[in-house]
């Protein structure tokens, strides 16, 4: 049991770092999604203005 715990403790930093990387990737992804949506809305607004002037 003690060996098992020791193994877990030894392994912890790597797995914690891995979990942290994936959590960070998820957070970056959500921000990227929001950023993308903001950019898409701006582009659609510009297109709407352009189409209004064209037609």
User: x/- string (CB under 8 A) for other proteins, residues 21-50?
Assistant: xx-xxxxxxx-xxxxxx-xx--xx-xxx-x
Tell me the closest approach of the beta carbon of residue 1 to other proteins, in angstroms: 31
How many Å apart are CA 13 and CA 2, to the nearest integer? 18
Question: Does position 11 bind other proteins by CB under 8 A?
Answer: no
- Contact residues toward other proteins (CB under 8 A) are 18, 21-22, 24-30, 32-37, 39-40, 43-44, 46-48, 50-51, 54-55
């Amino acid at each position: 049991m003690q060996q098992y715990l020791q193994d877990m403790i030894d392994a912890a930093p790597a797995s914690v770092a891995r979990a942290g990387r994936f959590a960070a990737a998820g957070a970056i992804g959500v921000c990227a999604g929001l950023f993308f949506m903001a950019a898409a809305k701006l582009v659609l607004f510009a297109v709407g203005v352009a189409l209004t002037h064209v037609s």
